[in-house]
Structure 1
């Protein structure tokens, strides 16, 4: 459930399942090469550009006090931001958690490089400390302070809180392809219960977690770090955050990489349907590969035949869930579908998906349940990160809901099932989650041009499941200074995933400021 428009880098999607992805590690056990600076404070020089208005000046003038994070080589701090940017300084602030790893040298220091892993709802600090701060190319880490933050409403930054662990377990098992009025009513009731819990537990923060708010926080972070311009790598949903920043503050754009791009001009219904087609593209690639393998549990033949067998498997576990090792969470259709979708984010997970499907078809659903848990960021003790809560909160503020009610889903079902015969129905019904949201949307789909900004690199992967390639083409075309870099390949996002061509082009841009030629293909 709620798998549509959850946009993250492959590392954040599957790390909890124990996979070692290309260019990505699931843990933070590696020792950084050099310790971060021990300087206790970082002040923004008075020359830093800031929005007009006396009420914002104290926020831009604040100093960050750095402390040990408990993770070797990293420091942490807390930044104050207005809860409501329309009324700053009214005594209502939000704490934004920040982490950094100082440039390791040698070479000229280029300032800070802020990274975001997507979501919305992904923890930037978790991503920085587990991967980006130790796994980005050594030359980039040598010249940049690696920095990230948990956006407002996420994890360490006034998190949105909705359902507790046991309630989330129940929520993730609700049938997402209702076959009769009773199942439809159960699904609608689940969405309403989730929304009501968010309103009850997060009343203060819930109206203020939009992407625009997070982008304004990012400019505040730029200033208090002491940087004249924002240097940034955003993946997946992080591309929308970066593009929003560039449109708000084009004169403060430094070197921006938007990898696995979203199209800000697409309305929620179109985004969900496009993403459904993206997962079908990824599944087609998986199916072709699976049919060639001796251990493919879905048999031989073309993608249509393989897809029909997977859909039949989903139908069987819908009727009769299989044991998973957790007596309270047998593997039904909802969890099985989420597990399969999680593995489609990265082709290195295909062997694990084949193994998990084989086991599930033989009565052991533990493998697919593990993949689903990684997607939902559920820990072994039954606790969930606030990913799903923050994801809904941001998406439902950023745009009006995709559907007005179940009847609208019925009308759209044929187009979703055409986009993906295997996943279409479930992803269509997942788009109902914002229909019952307690806060009215404050944003809408709109063209982002960032007129006057320095060159911005937009990266698209041709068979990306979560952010279809046409979204990257669209964003690069909208941005006044957008430069499209294409990776002809599988998986979600491209930087740091094994393509020397992609990595060389992006590294050169980050280190030398030379954007690849618009239209370059790898």
Structure 2
């Protein structure tokens, strides 16, 4: 996995509250027709005409947690068939796993609400069960919509599956830290990245790797829309899911009913600039944590002066580069895992108490808490089994992002990242090694650009001022590119829609149900 990028943390969403009164409206459609807005190509017609065979979800579970969640009788599941390669629809097929909770009020049903939790690589099926268990399964949206979660191609229960590393190999990778900028250190890091790319090519297949990007996911989502019986798509996407939404809007603008994009990626921003801005965002979140920590009644492991917190943390974490510390059950905490665990906790202030305890553990030589936080990021179960979330993250990123092979650019990227996020810096200088994408056996299928849309209905873009993973300005730029309405939320967390903030949740519910946009300039606030 690229050590510079972070994935979206899986959300547990709260129920929506009352409808929010706003000043600008769009047409609110009723029950959708099963006829697509524009007829598909003849070669794809059989895929658009397919009927989903809904049944129990238990066979789709890939983890123990999913086996428990998917047993809930309110869910049913199906598999959508799509072309693996849209240029050859008559060839090999992929199977998209789909989970549904039917609308609680069938008489008031509007259609389907398709969701994506981000990543890339997060399971939409698993996340939807968390959405519902968190309370949204009985709220306003659940009454009016079939709630739909799907695992994008290659992810989770979908087939063919991304599987590049064994569980033991993933454990071994996490113990490595490539902090040596010398030629020998760079060569070792390059060899590790090259090995990862080769294993993916051998174990997954280049024909699969070439067709796993956002370009293909949005085509799958349009076939899903038709198979669900909706003339137009109603969509809620978080983080990377905003890229899926924006790309769908560009590809099929006449097939969008309503679209909420929360935690946006700037569509025009280069990969390098995005990584630097994200690092700056996490430093801001680290600083916010340090300020919170200093105000607690128990002593803060970073000291009582937030301005010195980064220096204190560096002194605690950098020794792990050469000597990882015990972390329970025969495992150790590496520098890389410590940084991953800290960053995972910075997605939301709810995890600040655990993060404080984890950093305190560094001072006593106990890495167990930070390792558990890193395990959550990597989706590692207590039994040592991994989902394919992180592998999918890497594979999809390698065909979605710009490929960086110029070592001078890499050195400058790492220098800039160290400058804006010193809490993450090794202190040993930038390492200009290549990541796995530089050795990828297939070319990128996307590149940054401003979406060219015509006929798109008004969309709702939500951006949090202190979002560490998807900085606020990216939401401003995406709303501008789509000519949509921006909802600003003041706070420090990654994404916010349907997570219990009444102001935001009411705006989202009103827009998705009635087509009513929030008032221009509305700002919500997260405590």
**Same fold at TM > 0.5:** yes
For 1:267 and 1:133, the matched residues in 2 are separated by 37
Q: Which deviations, in whole Å up to 9, do the C-alpha atoms of 1:38-94 show, x marking residues without a partner? A: xxxxxx976323554210110000110000113211001011101111221x23111
Aligned to 1:301, which of 283, 301, 305? Answer: 305
For 2:259 and 2:34, the matched residues in 1 are separated by 24
| 1:157-306 aligned within 5 A | 157-158=158-159, 159-203=161-205, 204-293=207-296, 294-303=298-307, 305-306=308-309
State the shift of 1:379 in Å. Answer: 1.3
Q: Which deviations, in whole Å up to 9, do the C-alpha atoms of 1:74-121 show, x marking residues without a partner? A: 001011101111221x23111111110001127610100001100000
Establish whether residue 494 from structure 1 lines up as the match of residue 512 from structure 2.
Answer: no
Match of 1:343 in 2: 345
Q: Which moved more, 1:202-211 or 1:45-54?
A: 45-54
State the shift of 1:3 in Å. Answer: 4.8
For 2:415 and 2:455, the matched residues in 1 are separated by 42
Q: Which moved more, 1:336-345 or 1:511-520?
A: 511-520
Contact 2:189 2:434 in 1 (8 A): no
Match of 1:65 in 2: 53
State the shift of 1:6 in Å. Answer: 3.5
Contact 2:276 2:413 in 1 (8 A): no
Q: Which moved more, 1:133-142 or 1:214-223?
A: 133-142
For 2:179 and 2:237, the matched residues in 1 are separated by 33
For 1:46 and 1:415, the matched residues in 2 are separated by 51
SS for the counterpart of 1:208 is: coil
For 2:119 and 2:126, the matched residues in 1 are separated by 13
State the shift of 1:216 in Å. Answer: 0.7
For 1:167 and 1:261, the matched residues in 2 are separated by 33
For 1:191 and 1:505, the matched residues in 2 are separated by 44
Match of 1:129 in 2: 129
Higher RCO (CA < 8 A, seq sep 6+): 2
For 1:508 and 1:130, the matched residues in 2 are separated by 22
Aligned to 1:457, which of 455, 460, 465? Answer: 460
SS for the counterpart of 1:64 is: coil
For 2:496 and 2:433, the matched residues in 1 are separated by 27
Contact 1:114 1:148 in 2 (8 A): yes
Match of 2:113 in 1: 113
Q: Which deviations, in whole Å up to 9, do the C-alpha atoms of 1:298-344 show, x marking residues without a partner? A: 112133x10111112121122221100132x3112011010001000
For 2:3 and 2:504, the matched residues in 1 are separated by 28
Contact 1:261 1:472 in 2 (8 A): yes
Contact 1:5 1:271 in 2 (8 A): no
Match of 1:91 in 2: 91
State the shift of 1:473 in Å. Answer: 0.6
For 2:134 and 2:112, the matched residues in 1 are separated by 15
State the shift of 1:432 in Å. Answer: 2.6
For 2:522 and 2:426, the matched residues in 1 are separated by 36
Establish whether residue 413 from structure 1 lines up as the match of residue 401 from structure 2.
Answer: no
| 1:315-464 aligned within 5 A | 315-327=318-330, 329-401=331-403, 403-423=404-424, 432-464=435-467
State the shift of 1:413 in Å. Answer: 2.7
Cα 1:47–1:107 change in 2 (3 A) is closer
For 2:413 and 2:106, the matched residues in 1 are separated by 56
Q: Which moved more, 1:348-357 or 1:2-11?
A: 2-11
**With structure 2 as the length reference, what TM-score do the two structures score?**
0.88
Establish whether residue 151 from structure 1 lines up as the match of residue 155 from structure 2.
Answer: no
Q: Tell me how many residue pairs correspond in the alignment.
A: 489
Cα 1:97–1:22 change in 2 (3 A) is closer
Unmatched tracts of structure 2, length 5 or more: 16-31, 59-70
State the shift of 1:447 in Å. Answer: 0.6
For 1:326 and 1:406, the matched residues in 2 are separated by 39
State the shift of 1:133 in Å. Answer: 6.8
State the shift of 1:501 in Å. Answer: 0.8
State the shift of 1:428 in Å. Answer: 8.2
Contact 1:6 1:391 in 2 (8 A): no
Cα 1:4–1:51 change in 2 (3 A) is farther
For 2:514 and 2:405, the matched residues in 1 are separated by 49
| 1:3-42 aligned within 5 A | 3-11=3-11, 23=14
For 2:444 and 2:290, the matched residues in 1 are separated by 38
State the shift of 1:455 in Å. Answer: 1.1
For 1:430 and 1:10, the matched residues in 2 are separated by 30
Q: Which deviations, in whole Å up to 9, do the C-alpha atoms of 1:212-270 show, x marking residues without a partner? A: 10011101000010001100110110011011111111111111100111111112111
Match of 1:30 in 2: none
State the shift of 1:277 in Å. Answer: 1.0
For 1:475 and 1:45, the matched residues in 2 are separated by 30
Unmatched tracts of structure 1, length 5 or more: 12-20, 25-43
Regions of 4+ moved over 4 Å: 424-431
SS for the counterpart of 2:186 is: helix
